[in-house]
Chains A and B, each alone.
Chain A
Amino acid sequence: CGFQLRGAGELPPEMARTAISGISEQDALARDLAQSLRANGVRVVERDEADALLRITRMDTGRRTLSVGGDARVSEYEVYLTIGFQVEGLGSEFEIPTQTLTLTRDYLFDPAGVLGRSEQERVLRESMRRDAVQLILLRLQSAAR
């Protein structure tokens, strides 16, 4: 029905050598992004060698109460991740203007398992981060079309 295996090398050629800025190199998002860029044939380099700069302009994460039970106590929490990013060519006119992604996950709160909560939130953030990397890649690829 028209579906074909996704082709390779679809990132903009202006991003052949890309530096990531705005977050620490050790940040998990930076690592995941670098890995995905490499898998798409991009060399992730230091800024002074780069053709393009992928800048993370914003990264907010937090938690809010999503629902309260009939007992007036929290029953679900939502964790969210908001990422803003942009790409600018270094020495070229290439540009992807700032875009913002917001991802959310929710989980049932267990008042008798509070210590498990931080681990639960950690894995949910990890999964949002992986999704965010995929969505960023989709937007970068669309710039090459």
Chain B
Amino acid sequence: DYLPPAPEISHADDGRLRFEADRAFLDRDGISRLEGNVEVFEGTRIFTADRFEYEHARNYLEAMGNVTFDDKAGLSFESSAGHLYLDSEEGRFKEVEYFFRPRHARGKASAIEPRGPDRFRLSDASYTTCDPGRQDWQLTASRVDLNQDSGRGTARNVLLRFHRVPLLYTPWINFPIDDRRQTGLLLPSIGNADSTGLDVEIPYYFNLAPNRDAILAPRYLGRRGIMLGSQYRHMSGSSVGRFDLEYLQDDEVYGDDRSWFTWDQEWRPTSRLRLHTRGTDVSDADYLSDFGSSLDDTSTTHLERRADLSYQASNWNLLARVEDYQTVDDNIVGPDRPYKRLPQLLYRGDWPRATHGIDLGMRAEWVSFDRRDSVTGQRTDIMPEASLPLQGAAWFLTPRVRYRLTHYDLEGQPSGADSQLQRDVPIASVDGGLFFDRPLQGDRFQTLEPRVFYRYTPYRDQDDIPRFDTSEYGFSFDQLFRDESFSGPDRVANANQLTTALTSRVVDASSGTERFRVSLGQIQYFDDQRVRLRPEDTPRTQDSSSIVAEAAWRPDRYWNVRGTTQWDPHREQTERRTAQLQYRQDGNRVANLGYRFQEDRLEQTDLSFAWPLSKRWDAVGRWAYSLEDHRDLEILAGLEYNSCCWGARVVARRYLTDGVQGEYNEGIYFQLILKGLGSLGTGLGELLSEGILGYEDDY
């Protein structure tokens, strides 16, 4: 560290002034003269100089030759000469070179004027956080006011030079001088992309109160106009919330106003009662593909908006919810769009070990569904359940019975169909498993965990029941042990089936860490599955399901390998296959390789990494490629440079925005980070964390 060490102040801060000097001359007018290696201690400050004069009557100190000053707050400076009124703490020192430890900052000034407690004014000053001898970047200002009490600085006529090249001028700037959250300019970013043209964003942070802040971010989009982004966050004892708004008036390409609004607001008046609302609204379906910053944004098809009021008692909870989705994909139309829940009332109760070791449960729901040009209605669903979990160290057995009663009161049914429908159905299952262990060499042991699951549900004709919120669970290892095939009450699958599965793990005995795991399972069907999601779906008649296998391996703390496969023995066809390989040493040294295959839907590879090239240079990249469609999904390449006082990032991206037209958005983004000037990160770091699994933004 180049900064001079903080002075050690051994004297008590008792308001007295102490002098140490080779020679001292005391005048009868009350003027003391001190010469030779003079040190003056006053409170938490130390002065040194070749020569001092001290005037007792005015409590006035004058210093001459090789003056130095240090204070406890971390400011120190050297000056040729100066004076200070110790009572008012006002004075002036000229030809100053200063250091400010809390910001790792330094600079020069023609004069520094103490202006009362914790306040300083600098004239013709420079400021940088670079080491001495380096001027990678430097601010110069005609006047700088520092307030250590508020933690703020303001400067006038400011010119920012980067490698001596003037980069930015501002007549006035307000900046932080310590690590407190401060109102001020954040890191601007600059880019150029197909969808936006030149893209410059300058965020400004407002620290409104200890529990409230806001960001205002004007963004210039060369092809479209000026967008205003804003964010507001607040927090108090019982509530916390956040609002984000982006607004672009009269988009020159789109020909209309564009906007994006998202909110998340939670209120907990008591520990049991909670009101939570959150959602996102965009002006049009193209908004996210035009302005989204990542493939995550642009691939979104639905935006949820909802408000929940919930009450949590010790054994039950009640939820009242209104919910609606905005569909932001114009290819999803009519009956494929989701219903609104206006409202939904949901009760869940659990009474573990209620009687004779039996767990009792209750689920009840009343919901009113609404959608334009559709069958609408109210649904009442009641489902009591009882289970008897039996468990020992080496086994478990859980029989469970449920009874589901569902009533519909419908409007808009086709003529001839009933507007009142009712279905009741019992559901029974038994889940059981055993645990075996054996020791392995090298302080490890292996487990063997066979598990069986039997499920029975009688058949009920449900073809007349509309589908409000029900879809089929994806097939997976978890699904082998679930007593439902559908994710909502509109369908209850008939079932008479037995799952057999086996899991084996290798575990480090000393830490309990799982090194290796493999699982294998399959369902035997004793009856055909006649209940279908849609009347046009074909019933399932095979006597067994696909075989599901999962494996995970952690050979050491850096490597992580996972894979799954799902194979249909009847067609001798793989339905699903995934593989994921990760090496992660830390947030800047990570590499991922992924492969995913889903029959008739997708086959893709995803390679991503962040890796240091040298002490100062880092490379980041991602390449997601669809083997199914033979096209790139996203390509991202970036370089980061990191020196002691500044950093820079350049990231180029190309990603698919429209699969039907095969359209891509291409862009290049640049960000300069002058350490000590900005205190928060911006979009680029976020973009990299989303694209590269395990990457952590440093800034």
Q: Are A123 and B482 in contact (CB under 8 A)?
A: yes
Is A67 a contact of B439 with CB atoms below 8 Å?
Answer: no
**A108–B626 contact, CB under 8 A?**
no
Q: CB within 8 A of B436: which of A3, A106, A124?
A: A3
- Contact across chains for A35 and B394 when beta carbons are under 8 A apart: no
**Which stretch of B21-29, B87-95, B141-149, B465-473 is in the interface?**
B465-473
Say yes or no for A91: interface residue by CB 8 A criterion. no
What residues on B are CB-neighbors of A119 within 8 Å? 469, 487-488
Report B-chain residues with C-beta under 8 Å of the C-beta of A9.
393
Q: State which of A31, A35, A72, A115 has its C-beta within 8 Å of the C-beta of B469.
A: A115
Interface residues in B, total, Cβ within 8 A: 76
Which residues in window 25-80 of A have CB below 8 A to B? Answer: 25-26, 31, 35-36, 39-40, 64-76
Residue B512 at the chain A interface, CB threshold 8 Å: yes
Chain B residue nearest to A76 (CB atoms) is: B596
**Interface digits, B115-146 against A, CB 8 Å rule (1 contact, 0 not)?**
00000000000000000000000000000000
Is there an interface contact between B660 and A71, defined as CB atoms closer than 8 Å? yes
Contact A142 B512 (CB under 8 A): yes
Q: How far is the CA of A10 from the CA of B437 in the complex (A)?
A: 13
A23 within 8 A of B: no
* Residue interface mask B455-476, A partner, CB < 8 A = 1: 0000000000000111111101
Number of A-B residue pairs, CB cutoff 8 Å, is 171
A101 CB to nearest B CB, Å: 9
Whether A67 contacts B314 in the complex (CB less than 8 A), given A2-B439, A135-B514, comes out as no
A127 close to B (CB within 8 Å): yes
Tell which of A3, A5, A26, A72 touches B658, judged by Cβ atoms closer than 8 Å: A72
State whether the Cβ of B236 lies closer than 8 Å to any Cβ in chain A: no
User: Interface 1/0s, chain B 642-670, versus A by CB < 8 A?
Assistant: 00000000000000111110000000000
Residues of A within 8 A of B341 (CB): 115
Determine if B695 is an interface residue (Cβ-Cβ < 8 Å): no
Smallest beta-carbon distance A80→chain B, Å = 11
Chain B residue numbers with a CB within 8 Å of A1 are 438
Verify if A4 is at the interface (C-beta below 8 Å from B).
yes
Is B260 an interface residue, CB under 8 A from the partner?
A: no
Q: Does B679 make an interface contact (CB < 8 A)? A: no
B329 CB within 8 Å of chain A? yes
Residue contact A110 to B471, C-beta cutoff 8 Å: yes
| Assembled-state Cα–Cα distance A31/B447 (Å) | 25
Please give, as numbers and ranges, the residues of chain A lying within 8 Å of B598 by CB-CB distance.
Answer: 75-76, 108
**Looking at A4, A9, A39, A71, which has the most chain B CB atoms within 10 Å of its CB?**
A71
Taking CB atoms, residues of chain A closer than 8 Å to B312 are 26
Selected contact of B510 from candidates A113, A127, A145, CB within 8 Å: A145
11 contacts between A and B (CB under 8 A): A5-B436, A6-B394, A35-B389, A65-B299, A69-B601, A69-B628, A105-B478, A108-B601, A120-B473, A120-B474, A145-B509
Interface residues of B (CB under 8 A from A): 289, 295-296, 298-302, 312, 314, 325, 329, 331-332, 336, 338-339, 341, 350, 352, 389, 391-395, 434-439, 446-448, 468-474, 476, 478, 482, 486-488, 507-514, 578, 596, 598, 601-602, 604, 606, 624, 626, 628-629, 631, 633-634, 656-660, 690
Q: A70-B629, A115-B325, A135-B514 are in contact. List 9 more A-B contacts (CB 8 A).
A: A2-B439, A7-B393, A8-B393, A70-B628, A70-B659, A75-B601, A114-B325, A115-B488, A141-B512
What 6 A-B pairs have minimum CB-CB distances, sorted nearest first?
A: A113-B471, A139-B512, A71-B659, A70-B629, A116-B471, A142-B512
